[in-house]
Amino acid sequence: MKIQNKTVLITGGGSGIGYEIARLLSRQHNQVIIIGRNEAKLKQAASTLPNVVPIVCDITSGQEVNLLAVQLRQQFPYLSVLINNAGKAFKYEHGAKADAYDKARQELDTNYLSVIRLTELLLPLMQEQPEAAIVNVSSIVGLSPSAVIPTYSDSKAALHSYTLSLRKTLAAASNIKVFELMPPTVNTTFSAEIGGALYGIPAAEVAEALVSGMEQDEWEIGVGGTIPFATAFFAQRHKAFDAMNEAR
């Protein structure tokens, strides 16, 4: 699908991968809405880009997300692309004093549960469009977990599973395509604690891979070094997924 002359919503769009996606899409004649919790960061980002509107919203707040859905229907009735990019991660290792439960709760809320809620609220509006798409930004650690970001890995594995099920459901009776973007470590402030500055690829490279993958209807979009791993993984995963769902 072509991502031009569309209305696009990007969560976590004020910096990092979200900002670079907004930058790229705004220059391709799209109306882009970026949301996040930090008003100053959002306004700064929007001031540097054409065709970008910032909206403050905490996606983990049910009340704020409900209000956002109403606002979008009223002000942006042609919303057709939702990019679930916002994320939260803690670097630590499991142990007696890791406080893993609280860290996992926050990560799952941001990276998984909030995605389900926002997506479900916006589905009716997106189904009214002639062509629409949902992009879930997961991670290669959703396929093979990292011991230093263990429950972040868990949350991305859950997001991956949700993406497969959502795609299967919407493909049967919907105009909405469902994509999954799987970047490796990216050089952003988000990944600074796990070596993003040293080992990460540029966020702009991730944005370019996303747009290219969507234009080719590539459902799982690997980036850089994740491509061979993801390709081999999905060859087996899809066989198992299809067999499971055909049996039901």
> Three-state SS for 225?
coil
| Residue 168 domain-assigned (yes or no) | yes
What gap in Å lies between CA 94 and CA 34, rounded to an integer? Answer: 34
pLDDT in tens, 71-103: 999 999 999 999 999 999 999 999 999 999 999
pLDDT in tens, 109-152: 999 999 999 999 999 999 999 999 999 999 888 888 889 999 99
- Is 112 an annotated catalytic residue? no
Number of domains the chain is built from? 1
| Residue 19 domain-assigned (yes or no) | yes
Given 101, 152, 162, 199, which residue is catalytic? 152
Query: Domain range for residue 185?
Result: 7-246
Whether the CB-CB separation of 146 and 92 falls below 8 Å is answered with no
**Helix (H), strand (E) at residue 47:** helix 39-47
pLDDT value of position 140:
86
What gap in Å lies between CA 228 and CA 248, rounded to an integer? Answer: 31
| pTM listed for this prediction | 0.90
Phi, psi (deg, nearest 5) at residue 61: -100, 115
| Residue 1 domain-assigned (yes or no) | no
What is the 8-class DSSP label of residue 96?
T
| Residue 43 domain-assigned (yes or no) | yes
The CATH number given to whatever domain includes residue 92 is 3.40.50.720
